[in-house]
Amino acid sequence: MIHPDIILASSSQTRKTLMDRLGIVYHCISPDIDESVQGEKHADDLARRLAFEKAKVIAEQYPDAIVIGSDQVAWRIHSPQDFIGKPLTTENAITQLMANSGQSVCFSTGLSIQHLHNGFEKTLVEHYQVKFRELNLAEIERYVALEQPLQCAGSFRCEGLGISLFESMSGNDQTTLMGLPLIQVCHLLRQLGLTIP
């Protein structure tokens, strides 16, 4: 049986590293979409739309391929309408981490898998939560200087030194926090007839 091509609609090195864990052949194509907020009032809605649109724009170009799109939105507990974006600058990263100190930060990670050739489209949102320990300015400045998490929502990399900032983590699948919920990816790919493992 010949399986269709698999495309990860992403330019994220972290998502590539996660996909590599599955041991399947895939290609990466970066989707060019507008990631700005379009009236969404809840992080889940924004994450779901962005994941769907990332997959859709690539799936329309490659309708015979299985396309995987994902996007993540961070927010502080009880405030899903206040999205925490990528800091982009050292100053913003320090400000974000000062605000996160002692707080629980939630992550809504959207996943969309589309195979237009057979009419398959599933889009969902997975959740993960981290509790930051009380951080002082010196720790935050040291961390930002060492890891430069300027392209990471929440200003940390949990797969790296960012783990040292946490008091606890909770959720069903740690890869959700890293931006691609692999348990659900495997579940949906199996629905499409792929054998994993």
Domains of the chain (ranges, CATH numbers): 6-191 (3.90.950.10)
Which of 20, 71, 82, 173 does the annotation list as catalytic?
A: 71
Distance CA(10)–CA(12), nearest Å, equals 5
Collect all residues with Cβ–Cβ distance below 8 Å to 138 and sequence separation of at least 6: none
- Among residues 101, 104, 96, which one has the least CA distance to residue 130? 104
pLDDT in tens, 130-176: 999 999 999 999 999 999 999 998 999 998 999 999 999 999 999 99
Three-state secondary-structure class, residue 117: helix
Structure confidence at residue 2 (pLDDT): 63
- CB atoms closer than 10 angstroms to residue 2: 3
Please give the pLDDT value at position 159: 87
Q: Which residues of the chain are modeled with pLDDT < 50? A: none
What is the pTM for the complete model shown? 0.93
Catalytic, 71? Answer yes
